[in-house]
Amino acid sequence: MNKSTILAISNNTGRLTALVESFGQQFYSLTADAEETAIDRFLQSPVDAVVFGHDLGDTVKNRLTKIFSSQQSDTVFVNDNIAANMTETITHAISSKQKENKPVFSFKDDALKNAGLHIEIQ
């Protein structure tokens, strides 16, 4: 199974450490304690999910969401909730996004029609 890469962004370095420890071996973790660092880390490697710390303002979250979405449209954005199990929250958000973006294929076989035969298969 491929591990997802998570970018955790918070001004609180203690919370970043706690998040990385809670992820354990389930995710690859990247951390950023400033907006510019977050952008650099995001652009350096593909990121499956971004976790915004509760200490970040809405303006910063919105700006980063716009930047990251324009670079990778399938990135999941999650707000840090200290009371919740973040590993489960992130895993659920990623799987929901993947199901949402699952491609649908449709094939139409017109070989008999192009051969000049008037046969319909039902």
Provide the pLDDT for residue 120: 65
* Domain extent for 85: 4-100
pLDDT at 60 over 70: yes
Mean pLDDT of the chain: 83
- Please indicate, yes or no, if residue 109 is contained in any of the structural domains: no
Residue 69 inside a domain? The answer is yes
Examine residue 96 and state whether it is found in any structural domain, yes or no: yes
Q: How many domains does the chain have?
A: 1
Are 110 and 82 in contact, with CB atoms under 8 Å apart?
Answer: no
Q: Which residues pair with 8 in a beta bridge?
A: 31, 51
Q: Is residue 116 part of a domain?
A: no
Examine residue 79 and state whether it is found in any structural domain, yes or no.
yes
The pLDDT, as a whole number, for residue 107 is: 63
We report the CATH number of the domain holding residue 29 as 3.40.50.2300
Local confidence band at 87 (pLDDT 50, 70, 90 cut-offs) = confident
Task: Give CA angle at 35 (32, 41), nearest 5°.
Answer: 50
- Whole-prediction pTM: 0.75
Residue 122 covered by a domain: no
Tell me if 117 is assigned to some domain.
Answer: no
